[in-house]
């Protein structure tokens, strides 16, 4: 019988077994937040290859992206308990099957079972990114995540059948009366200003929380977005209603001794004067929604509502793209379908043209018959 020695590293997540003079590493992925020597936040999973990749992602992406990638990798290697260099395409396909769950039970909202297709697609993207990195580093020969499944009609320029079909669904929006009820349900000027930043300016949640005092251009009725998606900055106009609420908040509610330059801060409790967190903003929206008696309302729904109303008012797609901070106008086209009057007006214009042409043909036919 070979001699087996068992030991654990300090983080108690990696067991090391010595078998016949070789080392076999057995690890359990545990996502741990920490900080480097410079005080910057870092994420580790307890495996050198994965930790190197997370460090690479952290150098080029936003903290929320790093956290999402780290969690996705934790889920994948919890389901596929293998060393990264041993993962095969069959393991990836089995992972997809397990993520879909019991196919006999479906959700009424979208008709899907298990996790949503968007969540699975995001997790596959994270896993594919990891192995793309490992291929570039020479750790593995090929990426086990296929670009798609081959079919008979596949050409060299096509990826074939996608691994996960993501349904194209329209986001939910609020009616004008519901927006008024939500704003009226906000108990503080701070809360009202944050809601207006999203529903009147189309700001993302992270962009609202990232606003600094110096980012506000009161005279121009514009704000500088420095915490945009992907780190991109932009300057956008916002209704004077937002700036009026901000002015009341600064004069009546914001602690004068707050040391942060963030615009929106905590107003009570032990964290008074500190920047408001994403969790805190979400809870404020939930509380206001419940007081207003609304069936649904999220930060992103407020953003979608803003751009839908702007489109209905005649704002061009290019202008909405700039306001939203979309890199591609394809992301903006969804508001064509959300705007009530766009499709109807286009259809009626074409229908009237068809009817006019048919009427002209009938007139010509009658004239020829009379002659």
- pLDDT tens per residue across span 225-260: 988 777 789 999 999 999 999 999 999 999 999 999
Contact yes or no for 202/236 (Cβ under 8 A): yes
Q: Is the pLDDT of residue 76 over 90?
A: yes
DSSP state of 267: -
Least confident of 14-23, 79-88, 212-221: 14-23
Overall average pLDDT of the 307-318 stretch? 90
Contact yes or no for 89/40 (Cβ under 8 A): no
| Percentage of the chain lying above the pLDDT 70 cut | 77
Tell me the pLDDT band of 108, cut-offs 50, 70 and 90.
low
Residue 39 pLDDT: 64
Better-predicted residue by pLDDT, 193 or 31: 193
Q: Is the pLDDT of residue 82 over 60?
A: yes
Q: Quote the CA–CA distance of 48 and 130 in Å, as a whole number.
A: 12
Residue 327 pLDDT: 87
Residue 6 pLDDT: 35
CA 42 to chain centre: 21
Better-predicted residue by pLDDT, 63 or 200: 200
Q: Is the pLDDT of residue 224 over 90?
A: yes
Closest to 171 measured CA to CA, from 283, 333, 327, 323: 333
pLDDT tens-digit readout, 1-10: 333 333 333 4
Superfamily (CATH H level) for 176-338: Intergrase catalytic core (1.10.443.10)
DSSP state of 15: E
Q: Which residues of 267-282 are buried (b: 16+ CB within 10 A; e: fewer)?
A: beeeeeebbbeeebbe
Q: Packing angle between helix 340-370 and helix 299-312, nearest 10 degrees?
A: 30
Contact yes or no for 277/292 (Cβ under 8 A): no
The pTM of the full predicted model, rounded to 2 decimals, is 0.71
CATH code matching the domain that covers 31-150+157-169, chosen among 1.10.150.130, 3.30.300.30, 3.40.50.300, 3.30.1330.10: 1.10.150.130
Q: Quote the CA–CA distance of 319 and 289 in Å, as a whole number.
A: 30
Least confident of 33-37, 238-242, 273-277, 290-294: 33-37
Contact yes or no for 121/129 (Cβ under 8 A): no
Secondary structure class of 237 (helix, strand, coil): strand
Q: Quote the CA–CA distance of 226 and 211 in Å, as a whole number.
A: 7
Least confident of 49-58, 89-98, 106-115: 106-115
Q: How many CB atoms lie within 10 A of CB 222?
A: 16
Tell me the pLDDT band of 208, cut-offs 50, 70 and 90.
very high
Q: Which residues pair with 5 in a beta bridge?
A: 18
Q: Packing angle between helix 48-58 and helix 117-137, nearest 10 degrees?
A: 100
For the chain, the structural domain boundaries read 1-29, 31-150+157-169, 176-338, 343-371
DSSP state of 172: P
Residue 11 pLDDT: 43
Q: Is the pLDDT of residue 99 over 90?
A: no
| Percentage of the chain lying above the pLDDT 90 cut | 53
Contact yes or no for 180/166 (Cβ under 8 A): no
Tracing tokens 């064509």 back to the chain, one arrives at 336
DSSP state of 80: S
Overall average pLDDT of the 1-25 stretch? 40
Overall average pLDDT of the 20-47 stretch? 71
Better-predicted residue by pLDDT, 244 or 359: 244
Better-predicted residue by pLDDT, 191 or 353: 191
Least confident of 40-44, 109-113, 191-195, 224-228: 109-113
């Amino acid at each position: 019988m070979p001699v087996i020695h068992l030991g654990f590293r300090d983080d108690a997540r990696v067991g090391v077994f010595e078998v016949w003079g070789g080392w076999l590493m057995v690890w359990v992925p545990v996502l741990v937040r920490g900080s480097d020597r410079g005080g910057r936040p870092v994420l580790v999973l307890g495996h050198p290859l994965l930790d190197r990749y997370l460090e690479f992602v952290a150098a080029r992406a936003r903290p929320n992206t790093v956290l999402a990638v780290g969690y996705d990798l934790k889920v994948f290697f919890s389901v596929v308990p293998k060393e990264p260099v041993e993962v095969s395409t069959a393991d990836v396909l089995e992972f997809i099957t397990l993520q879909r769950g019991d196919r006999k039970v479906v959700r009424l909202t979208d008709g899907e079972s298990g996790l949503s297709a968007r969540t699975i697609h995001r997790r596959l993207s994270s896993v594919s990114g990891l192995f793309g990195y490992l291929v570039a580093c020479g750790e593995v020969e090929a990426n086990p995540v296929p670009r798609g499944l081959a079919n008979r009609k596949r050409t060299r320029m096509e990826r074939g059948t996608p691994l996960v079909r993501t349904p194209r669904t329209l986001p939910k929006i609020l009616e004008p009366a519901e927006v008024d009820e939500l704003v009226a349900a906000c108990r503080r000027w701070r809360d009202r200003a944050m809601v207006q930043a999203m529903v009147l300016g189309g700001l993302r949640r992270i962009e609202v929380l990232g606003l600094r005092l110096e980012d506000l251009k009161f005279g121009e009725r514009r704000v500088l977005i420095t915490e945009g998606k992907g780190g991109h900055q932009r300057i956008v106009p916002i209704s004077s209603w937002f700036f009026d609420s901000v002015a009341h908040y600064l004069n009546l509610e914001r602690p004068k001794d707050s040391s942060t330059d963030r615009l929106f801060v905590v107003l009570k409790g032990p964290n008074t004067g500190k920047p408001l967190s994403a969790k805190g903003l979400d809870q404020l929206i939930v509380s206001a929604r419940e007081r207003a008696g609304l069936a649904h309302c999220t930060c992103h729904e407020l953003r979608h509502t803003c751009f839908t109303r702007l489109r209905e008012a005649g704002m061009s797609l290019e202008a909405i793209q700039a306001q939203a901070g979309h890199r591609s106008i394809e992301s903006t086209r969804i508001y064509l379908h959300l705007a009530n009057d766009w499709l109807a007006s286009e259809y009626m214009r074409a229908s009237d043209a068809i009817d006019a042409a048919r009427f002209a043909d009938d007139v010509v036919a009658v004239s020829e018959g009379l002659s």
